[in-house]
């Protein structure tokens, strides 16, 4: 049984989660290995990346349909909950923007829709948050409603990943995106091979969606990678 089979069985009931994890310690150990210190420096090969992608599909489904089971499942994987009060696109996905009167007001979190998790240095899933922000930073209807890339499914907005458009079996041969907090830096999409050409592409890699203008759902940002200092506020 694989992450894919877990995903398919979850459509019936989340009760399968705990026995599935107990029966597959090797797959859980592989995820933890991907989060070990230094893992961002090496590419693990297509098979582990495809298994990580399938796990991402499981998480998307839990967030959408079984949110009560999602935190315990991530904890069972050995993941730590993201506990950052200050908004940052590495840790936080914008689920809703409440537009501030001041166009220059930076984003601040006012509520959490679902928690985020990290396994060691690897970002497992971003937290979904409600923010207030000025329109110079995040525009309501764009940052919370434009297509979110590197994502298979979101209930409230379009989602795009490299599996879309492929057949029932071939879609599962998709490599996952890996993001790391390591060596005092945020490493976005470490397996990408190209640097962003401009600031708009940088923000797309950071946020995975449009922020002030909607870029549409037909871009191909999947080869882009970005590294920046981790200036952290708790």
Handedness of CA 57, 60, 66, 70 (dihedral sign): positive
pLDDT digits (tens, 9 = 90+) for 180-208: 999 999 999 999 999 999 999 999 999 99
pLDDT confidence of residue 12: 81
Whether residue 1 has pLDDT greater than 60: no
Contact between residue 191 and residue 43 where contact means Cβ atoms under 8 Å apart: yes
pLDDT band at residue 166, thresholds of 50, 70 and 90?
confident
Average pLDDT, the chain: 95
75-114 tens-digit pLDDT: 999 999 999 999 999 999 999 999 999 999 999 999 999 9
Sequence-distant (≥ 6) Cβ neighbours of residue 197 within 8 angstroms: none
pTM: 0.95
User: How confident is the model over 227-233, as a mean pLDDT?
Assistant: 86
Give me the pLDDT at residue 11, please.
Answer: 83
Q: Which tokens belong to 194?
A: 């190209």
Give the pLDDT confidence of 23-67 residue by residue, as tens digits: 999 999 999 999 999 999 999 999 999 999 999 999 999 999 999
Q: Which of 28, 47, 201 is nearest to 124 (CA)?
A: 28
In Å, what is the CA distance from 118 to each residue of 24, 84, 103, 126? 20, 12, 32, 8
Tokens 């796990």, residue? 55
The per-residue pLDDT for 167 is: 64
């Amino acid at each position: 049984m694989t992450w894919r089979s877990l995903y398919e069985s979850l459509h019936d009931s989340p009760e399968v989660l705990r026995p599935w994890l107990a029966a597959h310690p090797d797959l859980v150990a592989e995820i933890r290995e991907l989060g070990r210190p230094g893992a961002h420096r090496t590419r693990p090969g297509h098979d582990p990346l495809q298994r990580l992608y399938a796990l991402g599909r499981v998480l998307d489904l839990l967030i959408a349909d079984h949110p009560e089971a999602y935190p315990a499942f991530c904890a069972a994987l050995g993941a730590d909950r993201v506990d950052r009060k200050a908004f940052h696109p590495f840790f936080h996905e914008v689920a809703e923007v409440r537009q501030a009167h001041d166009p220059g007001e930076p984003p601040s979190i006012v509520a959490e829709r679902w928690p985020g998790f990290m396994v060691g240095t690897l970002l497992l899933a971003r937290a979904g948050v409600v923010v207030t922000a000025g329109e110079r930073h995040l525009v309501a209807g764009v940052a919370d409603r434009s297509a979110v890339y590197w994502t298979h499914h979101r209930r409230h907005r379009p989602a795009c990943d490299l599996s879309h458009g492929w057949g029932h079996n071939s879609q599962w041969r998709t490599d996952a995106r890996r993001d790391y907090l390591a060596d005092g830096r945020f490493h976005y999409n470490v397996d990408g091979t190209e640097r962003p050409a401009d600031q708009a592409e940088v923000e797309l890699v950071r946020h995975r969606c449009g922020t002030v203008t909607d870029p549409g759902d037909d871009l191909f940002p999947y080869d882009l990678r970005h590294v920046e200092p981790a200036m952290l506020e708790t």
